[in-house]
Amino acid sequence: MLQFKQFIAPCVFFIAAGTAAQTQQAHNAPAAAQETANAAHDFPAGTAAKAKTPDPSAELKRATAKRAAEADAAKKSEVKKIASSSQREIQQKIFRSWQVPEGSAGLDARARIVLTDTGNVQSIVVMGAPNAAFKNSIEKAVRQAEPFAMPEDPGARRAARLIHIRFAAK
């Protein structure tokens, strides 16, 4: 039991000493604030600002990374815009060559067209065609319209190679 009391006694003293120190510190707070203000006058004007300034090389790296990310996003946006424009032109060329079969009013189908880098048709998949004549007319229109003009930019060309078109007879 004696050992237990020896363990508790220093802890109690530590807590009591801590409380007394906190009381003394709170009592001296105005004096400490005045000492801090006086110390600020003893240093040159730019010293405090220099201590808080982050590493210039880290700032440069962050700024460079941010500019690179913005440039990459702009490039991706431009590639997407070029590919989309190219796909619209291809779609219009196909529609101009499409001859809708007689008696097909109100019918529709979807086609997935994959092109090569040179603008030739690699594959055509017609989905949901109501009959063989409608399907054949779509395939014939795509084949007659090829070759297609492909974008110069490799990324835009890659994105423009896959085209989904809905064919709806009116």
Residue 161 belongs to domain with CATH number = 3.30.1150.10
Q: Looking at the predicted structure, is the pLDDT value of residue 22 above 80?
A: no
Task: Determine the Cα–Cα distance for residues 109 and 106; give it in Å rounded to an integer.
Answer: 10
In a domain, 23, yes or no: no
Q: 1 in a domain, yes or no?
A: no
Q: What value does the mean pLDDT take over residues 155-161?
A: 94
Residue 160 lies in a domain: yes
How many independent structural domains does the chain possess? 1
**Quick one: pLDDT band at residue 30, thresholds 50, 70, 90?**
low
In whole angstroms, give the CA distance from residue 136 to residue 143. Answer: 10
Q: Can you read off the two tokens belonging to residue 97? A: 């060559």
Of the pLDDT bands very low, low, confident and very high (cuts 50, 70, 90), residue 82 is: very high
Which residue range forms the structural domain that includes residue 141?
Answer: 65-168
Give domain status of residue 130, yes or no: yes
57 domain residue, yes or no: no
Determine how many CB atoms are found less than 10 A away from the CB of residue 100: 17
Per-residue confidence band for 52, with pLDDT thresholds at 50, 70 and 90: low
CB 96 within 8 A of CB 69: no
Q: Which contiguous run of DSSP H or E holds residue 112?
A: strand 108-115
The answer to the question of residue 17 being in a domain is no
pTM exceeds cut of 0.85? no
CA separation, residue 4 to residues 7, 9, 11, 24 (Å):
5, 9, 11, 31
20 pLDDT exceeds 70? no
Kindly tell me if the per-residue pLDDT of 44 is higher than 60. no
Whether 96 is in a domain gets the answer yes
Whether residue 110 is contained in a domain is answered as yes
CA angle 43, 49, 53 (to 5 degrees): 140
pLDDT digits (tens, 9 = 90+) for 99-124: 999 998 999 999 999 999 999 999 99
